[in-house]
Structure 1
Amino acid sequence: MTTVPQTQAAPARQSAGGGIPFSRLLQVEFRKSWDTRSGFWLLFSIGAIVFVAELIAAIVLAVNNESDVDFGTFATVAGFISQLLLPVLGIMLVTSEWSQRTAMVTFSLEPRRGRVVEAKMTVGLLWTALTVAFALMVGAVFNLLYGAIAGHLDWSGGAGITGFVITQTLAMLLGFALAALLLNTPAAIVIYFAYLFALPTILAIGSALMGWFKSFQEWINYSDAQSPLYDGFWNMSGSEWGKLLVSCALWFGIPLTLGLRRILRAEVK
């Protein structure tokens, strides 16, 4: 009499969970933003250069005995420095996956690439807030120092501080958008600095040579469109808001949309 072997039924497949929590993605991306030599030295450089620039500004202003110095003056100095380096941080947040060839591991552990991009952008905004807070704190210290040297202390310039916060956020987001579009660190950095320094010169030349171009370039000049923010966004006219929104859509919205489409569809190697 033969015995028919019995096979055990396969265990029921457990339903998939909700995936990696977004909070954990944030923790991972935040650590990746500074736990490399390039990330650490970039963040250290931002803090160190802001401190040195504020020190030099305080000394020069005290030597020249400037009378119209306030807290907003030191915020503007910090803003110029951080506007140069914060976009590089936004660029590295995106391109590190591709330059360090970790995209396959990252997107294998979390196939929902959009959530990874959201975590990276949130980390960029978090670092921007921390950088702005540090810059304002350093500015407050040097404003006190200048007040002690010059004999008068002025805490005005609140409108300039508000513009400083907004423009730094926009600068980081612009770097983030260019990085998403190009997925290459050197290319994104070069394009950003070309936009920051070369584009205003080209637009100014075009305005000088062609009369009709002057009014047109006001709608595509991202840097000039942000200038009214330093006078307080509550004082901006409808035309100024329109120019800011159009230039934001051109230099941030379009690159970010195309970049997200590329990241979501790119072949990971």
Structure 2
Amino acid sequence: MSTATLAPTTAPRAGDAPAAPSLLRLVRVELRKTYDTRAGFWLLLVVALAALTVVTLQMLFAEEPDKTFAMFVGTTQLPVNLLLPVVGILLVTSEWSQRTAMTTFTLVPARSRVLTAKVIVGVLLGLLGTVAALLASALGALLTPILTTDATDWGISAGHLAQVALLQVLTILIGVAFGMLLLSSPLAIVLYFVLPTVVTIVANTVGALAWVRDWLDQATTMAPMFEGLLSSGEDWARLATTVALWLVAPMVAGWIRIIRSEIG
């Protein structure tokens, strides 16, 4: 008489650590955080409404040459460019303001993976903001000949679209960088708006600081991207210098700070 032999089962050991979530899952989680909170949801809604508002005003009150698709694109980038970086700041600082940093970094001890996911989400939000602005611009160009007596033009270059998308990605990543460096929503938001403004005013007032205006001032080096006007190698070199100061430096410093700091 034979007896059935049961295959031995291996029970998980108490000391085994749970599998780390994939980077894709972390990106999904971080992306959901941007609209799960009341502040994040309303901020994203305000960005969309602001883009529609400027399109409506431009369509109804601007001169006919300013009602082309390309002009609508340039105009809609302004509110998106102004408000979307705040979402990037909150993407980082909300971990500290809502006291979720300890939970986040306990579940994912490799802090660099969390920060990488936040940067990827920043890039995605920049691209999504560009798409939203393009849709609002297309709506304005479509309705212009219907609701007004003016004609419109749909022509726009691929270079213009690429520069607009790059501009939105860079600006929201600057917001992410400020959030990483300062870890405080009010402080990061205030300094994000105040510091570039001060640099612009001082650089345009003091003649000896003309080089600061030409190479480090966001208003000078990045503004041409609204209309896709960056063309020469010097233009791109100035943009790279500005990005190094306002994005790379604070992001590296903030990254190191978060990696090395005690989370309490």
Question: How do 1:105-184 and structure 2 match up within 5 A?
Answer: 105-148=103-146, 149-158=148-157, 159-184=159-184
Deviations 1:171-229 (A, max 9, x none): 1011111110000000010011113433211210123xx3xx21343111123112343
Give the drift of 1:13. 7.5
Q: Which moved more, 1:153-162 or 1:22-31?
A: 153-162
Distance between the aligned counterparts of 1:69 and 1:58, measured in 2?
6
Residue of structure 2 equivalent to 1:96: 94
Distance between the aligned counterparts of 2:54 and 2:225, measured in 1?
22
Q: Which amino acid aligns with 1:186?
A: P
Q: Which amino acid aligns with 1:155?
A: W
Q: Is the 8 A contact 1:91 1:175 kept in 2?
A: yes
Q: Describe the shift of the 1:53–1:217 C-alpha distance in structure 2 as closer, same or farther (beyond 3 A).
A: closer
TM-score by length of 2: 0.88
Q: Is the 8 A contact 2:27 2:117 kept in 1?
A: yes
Deviations 1:89-134 (A, max 9, x none): 0000000101111111000000000100111111222222222111
Residue of structure 2 equivalent to 1:4: none
Q: Which moved more, 1:14-23 or 1:86-95?
A: 14-23
Instruction: Select 1:254's aligned residue among 249, 258, 261.
Output: 249
Q: Describe the shift of the 1:67–1:33 C-alpha distance in structure 2 as closer, same or farther (beyond 3 A).
A: closer
Q: Which moved more, 1:223-232 or 1:247-256?
A: 223-232
Q: Which moved more, 1:219-228 or 1:133-142?
A: 219-228
Give the drift of 1:54. 1.1
Secondary structure at the counterpart of residue 175 of structure 2: helix
- Matched residues, percent identical? 35
Q: How many aligned positions are there?
A: 252
Q: Which amino acid aligns with 1:193?
A: F
Distance between the aligned counterparts of 1:67 and 1:123, measured in 2?
36
Q: Is the 8 A contact 1:147 1:154 kept in 2?
A: no
Q: Describe the shift of the 1:33–1:113 C-alpha distance in structure 2 as closer, same or farther (beyond 3 A).
A: same
Q: Is the 8 A contact 1:74 1:139 kept in 2?
A: yes
In the alignment, does 2:227 pair up with 1:227? no
Secondary structure at the counterpart of residue 150 of structure 1: coil
Distance between the aligned counterparts of 1:102 and 1:249, measured in 2?
30
TM-score by length of 1: 0.86
Q: Is the 8 A contact 1:89 1:172 kept in 2?
A: yes
Q: Describe the shift of the 1:175–1:12 C-alpha distance in structure 2 as closer, same or farther (beyond 3 A).
A: closer
Q: Describe the shift of the 1:133–1:67 C-alpha distance in structure 2 as closer, same or farther (beyond 3 A).
A: same
Deviations 1:16-49 (A, max 9, x none): 5652111221221121111111111111111111
Q: Is the 8 A contact 1:76 1:160 kept in 2?
A: no
In the alignment, does 2:37 pair up with 1:36? yes
Secondary structure at the counterpart of residue 77 of structure 2: helix
Task: Flag structure 1 segments of 5+ consecutive residues without an equivalent.
Answer: 1-10
Residue of structure 2 equivalent to 1:7: none
Task: Flag structure 2 segments of 5+ consecutive residues without an equivalent.
Answer: 1-11
Question: How do 1:209-228 and structure 2 match up within 5 A?
Answer: 210=208, 213-228=209-224
Q: Describe the shift of the 1:243–1:265 C-alpha distance in structure 2 as closer, same or farther (beyond 3 A).
A: same
Q: Is the 8 A contact 1:50 1:135 kept in 2?
A: yes
Give the drift of 1:68. 4.7
Deviations 1:32-90 (A, max 9, x none): 111111111111111111111211111111xxx42353111111111110111111000
Q: Which amino acid aligns with 1:227?
A: A
Q: Which moved more, 1:27-36 or 1:213-222?
A: 213-222
